[in-house]
């Protein structure tokens, strides 16, 4: 505000840089900016300016020679529309300091202008009433370098006056990196821990994945990169929603819950409210050794740093997210020596109301939100397709230094170790016969925790199982057998029951207990769920429409052999749930080879393969 602000607004330079002619013009422009606009009314502007110049001679301020020289200077033709860069931040800071004549921000003015233009261009392609928020933060200082609170400040229909950097919105899956960091610090997982991505219930809560598909056995790293919901809910259930929310709050993310409600398992899938500025402050911890920070908008803002996770956990989570390639680009598309690595995460709230993308390089953290401020849905617009492209545009526009592309050194608390599935332990400590799959994992503080045990005690337990067999027949022996046997010790490594449909035949066979010798009493060791069978569709069946109809083939299906809850998957995607012998109808229209799987909550499962003809 004041003379300097007016000089910038009307003439694009500070007051001390004005010529005498420009100073005279500035003296009259604020009195009637429309009538005296030099780009539209240059003659009127010049007459008004010259009157001021003559008055300066009369008052003895300037000499006649100075004024005659000033009269020769042409009137500028620059548009007099005052710039509205970072308008919402300006309003915010002015509200906080209403008496301040001048407020200095931490923004990079050229970057701010560039990104505002990019946002405007980007959003011309999206549905009407769509807005956005964008925040760029310097990791070293936590100072904001760009702040876009809405897609268009003057757009009334799109509620452009609403600052979405500060708005409470559902964060979707953007909290998952912090959950995995906490699980690493708690010693629950390493980067390649075996997690289960299959239909399952957690009390009354039953999550599914964004695309309705399931992947069976997945590593912790894969589960985070693919943003799988079931493994995340499983981890949160083991850590505790209230404890996780408290950790986030202590690190500066003040989650917003409906009045009277408490943190639940839905928290990790967006069942809470969060602000973009606080998510960015927390995400910066991945490049700050696990230290989250409050975003600073002026040089005088206090620097507030809080630990969110250990340096080792932050490094592992960053490596996991940075290994996620840009969607639509293959490996080797970019010169990694020129482009900094980006650890990124997207999120989408329930009903397509919020699309998020947050990414960090060594130097900057960038957060993008896209949606409608009034909370109405944007069908088909979600984080990966709507917010992520803009986030990468922003990152590509950021200033770069020579060291930005250098990898962060691995902390001493992190070790690369070879591990085995399904047990999850170190390769060198696992007998070869019990190592079905191997992988290189990042372990924190040397911890290689075993694969989680089954939640339901009725299910056959994962983990190493010791037993005795007859040396000749190979049949399993209990402690109570009526015939003499030559006993020998055996071991097998079992997988979690719910991943069985995704295992190879060899893996399933290797994890199966041999049959009990007929003269031995049962030893209480379960060999899996009951025998399940699909009624209504046989294995290797071929389905064809009737010659006189274009309608798809419709089948009545049910599962026999279990009274438990049954989940039905078609080509890995969840399609239905039944109880006991309850059936359901399904149309099969997609031509080609398919697999139908029935999974019982007691561990039993079966599947059939079939073909649909044109």
Orientation angle between helical segments 241-250 and 176-185, nearest 10 degrees: 100
What pTM was estimated for this model as a whole? Answer: 0.81
| Structural fold of domain 3-72 | Penicillin binding protein transpeptidase fold (1.10.3810)
Which residue has tokens 């060999």? Answer: 527
Partners of residue 577 on adjacent β-strands = 567
Name the DSSP letter for residue 559: E
For position 83, what pLDDT does the model report? 58
pLDDT band at 604 (very low <50, low <70, confident <90, very high): confident
Mean pLDDT check: name the lowest of 103-112, 289-298, 432-441, 455-464.
Answer: 455-464
- The whole-angstrom separation of Cα 198 and Cα 452 is 14
Ranges 142-146, 495-499, 546-550, most confident: 142-146
Average pLDDT of every residue of the chain: 89
Q: How many helices (H) and strands (E) are present in the chain, helices listed first?
A: 14, 22
DSSP category for residue 606: E
Residue carrying the six token digits 């548009």: 79
Q: Which of 256, 248, 311, 313 is nearest to 282 (CA)?
A: 248
C-beta separation of 99 from 335 below 8 A: no
State residue 1's pLDDT score: 44
Weakest-pLDDT range from 344-358, 535-549, 580-594: 535-549
Q: Are 611 and 571 in contact (CB under 8 A)?
A: no
The whole-number average pLDDT for the span 470-479 is 94
Half-sphere exposure of residue 583: CA atoms within 13 angstroms, side-chain side: 13
Question: pLDDT tens digits for 176-202?
Answer: 999 999 999 999 999 999 999 999 889
Output the CATH code of domain 84-172+274-301+323-411. Answer: 3.40.710.10
User: Locate tokens 């060594």: which residue?
Assistant: 362
pLDDT in tens, 477-530: 999 999 999 999 999 998 998 899 999 999 999 988 899 999 999 876 655 556
Going through 172-299 in order, the beta strands assigned E by DSSP cover 194-197, 216-219, 291-293
Fold of the 533-612 domain = Immunoglobulin-like (2.60.40)
Q: Check residue 548 and give its pLDDT.
A: 61
Q: Is the dihedral of CA 118, 121, 125, 127 positive or negative?
A: positive
pLDDT for the residue 460: 46
Considering the chain, what percentage of its residues have pLDDT values greater than 90? 63
Query: 402-431: buried (b, 16+ CB within 10 Å) or exposed (e) per residue?
Result: eebbeebeebeebbebebbbbbbbebeebe
Residue 457 binned pLDDT confidence (cut-offs 50, 70, 90)? very low
Highest mean pLDDT out of 85-94, 116-125, 217-226, 518-527: 217-226
177 neighbors 282 (Cβ within 8 angstroms): no
Q: What is the pLDDT of residue 528?
A: 52
pLDDT value at residue 332: 52
Bigger pLDDT: 6 or 544?
Answer: 544
Q: pLDDT digits over 74-86, tens only?
A: 887 666 555 568 8
Segment 88-93 mean pLDDT: 92
What does the pLDDT average to over 164-168? 96
For every residue of 72-123, DSSP letters joined together read HSPPP----PPP-TTHHHHHHHHHH-TT-S-------HHHHHHHHHHHHHHH
> Could you tell me the pLDDT band of residue 220, with boundaries at 50, 70 and 90?
very high
From the number of C-beta atoms within 10 Å of its C-beta (0-12, 13-18, 19+), residue 494 rates as: buried
| Tokens matching residue 582 | 């309850």
Domain spans, the chain: 3-72, 84-172+274-301+323-411, 414-444, 453-527, 533-612
On the question of pLDDT at 470 being above 50, the answer is yes
Lowest mean pLDDT among 339-353, 396-410, 477-491: 396-410
């Amino acid at each position: 505000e004041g003379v300097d602000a007016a000089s910038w607004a009307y003439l694009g330079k500070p007051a001390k840089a004005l010529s005498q002619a420009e100073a005279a013009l500035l003296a009259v422009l604020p009195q009637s900016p429309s009538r005296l606009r030099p780009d539209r009314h240059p003659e009127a502007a010049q007459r008004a300016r010259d009157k001021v110049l003559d008055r300066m001679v009369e008052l003895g301020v300037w000499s006649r020679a100075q004024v005659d020289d000033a009269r020769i200077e042409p009137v500028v033709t620059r548009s007099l529309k005052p710039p509205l860069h970072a308008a919402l931040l300006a309003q915010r800071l002015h509200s906080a300091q209403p008496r301040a004549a001048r407020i200095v921000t931490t923004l990079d003015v050229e970057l701010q202008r560039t990104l505002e233009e990019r946002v405007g261009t980007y959003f011309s392609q999206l549905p009407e009433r769509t807005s956005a928020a964008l925040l760029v933060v310097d990791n070293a200082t936590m100072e904001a370098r760009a702040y876009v609170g809405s897609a268009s400040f003057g757009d009334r229909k799109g509620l452009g006056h609403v600052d979405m950097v500060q708005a409470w919105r559902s964060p979707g899956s953007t909290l998952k990196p912090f959950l995995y960091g906490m699980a690493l610090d708690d010693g629950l997982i390493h980067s390649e821990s075996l997690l289960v991505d299959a239909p399952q219930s957690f009390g009354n809560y039953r999550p599914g994945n964004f695309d309705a598909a399931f992947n069976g056995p997945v590593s912790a790293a894969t589960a985070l990169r693919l943003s799988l919901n079931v493994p995340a809910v499983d981890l949160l259930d083991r850590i505790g929603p209230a404890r996780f929310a408290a950790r986030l709050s202590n690190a500066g993310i003040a989650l917003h819950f409906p009045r009277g409600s408490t943190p639940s398992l839905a928290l990790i899938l967006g069942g809470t409210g969060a602000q973009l500025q606080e998510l960015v402050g927390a995400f910066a911890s991945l490049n700050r050794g696990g230290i989250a920070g409050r975003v600073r908008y002026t040089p005088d803002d206090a620097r507030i740093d809080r630990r969110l996770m250990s340096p080792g956990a932050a490094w592992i989570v960053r490596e996991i997210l940075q290994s996620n390639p840009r969607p639509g680009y293959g490996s080797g598309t970019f010169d990694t020596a020129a482009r900094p690595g980006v650890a990124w995460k997207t999120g989408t709230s329930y009903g397509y109301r919020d699309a998020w993308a947050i990414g960090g390089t060594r130097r900057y953290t960038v957060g993008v939100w896209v949606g409608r401020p009034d909370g109405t849905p944007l069908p088909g617009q979600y984080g990966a397709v709507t917010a992520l492209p803009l986030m990468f545009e922003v990152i590509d526009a950021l200033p770069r230094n020579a060291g930005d592309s250098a990898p962060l050194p691995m902390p001493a608390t992190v070790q690369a170790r070879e591990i085995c599935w399904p047990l999850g332990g170190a390769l060198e400590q696992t007998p070869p016969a019990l190592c079905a799959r191997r992988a290189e994992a990042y372990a924190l503080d040397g911890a290689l925790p075993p694969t989680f045990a089954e939640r339901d005690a009725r299910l056959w337990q994962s983990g190493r199982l010791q037993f005795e067999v007859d040396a000749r027949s190979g049949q399993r022996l209990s402690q109570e057998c009526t015939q003499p046997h030559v006993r020998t010790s055996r071991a097998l490594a079992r997988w979690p029951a719910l991943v069985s449909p995704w295992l190879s035949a060899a893996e399933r066979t290797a994890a199966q207990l041999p049959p009990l010798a007929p003269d031995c009493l049962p030893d209480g060791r379960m060999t899996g769920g009951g025998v399940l069978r699909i009624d209504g569709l046989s294995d290797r069946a071929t389905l064809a429409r009737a010659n006189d109809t274009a309608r798809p083939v419709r089948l009545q299906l049910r599962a026999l052999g279990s009274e438990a809850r049954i989940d039905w998957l078609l080509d890995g995607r969840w399609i239905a749930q039944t109880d006991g012998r309850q059936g359901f109808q399904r149309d099969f229209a997609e031509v080609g080879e398919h697999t139908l799987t029935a999974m019982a909550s007691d561990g039993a499962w079966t599947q059939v393969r079939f073909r649909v003809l044109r």
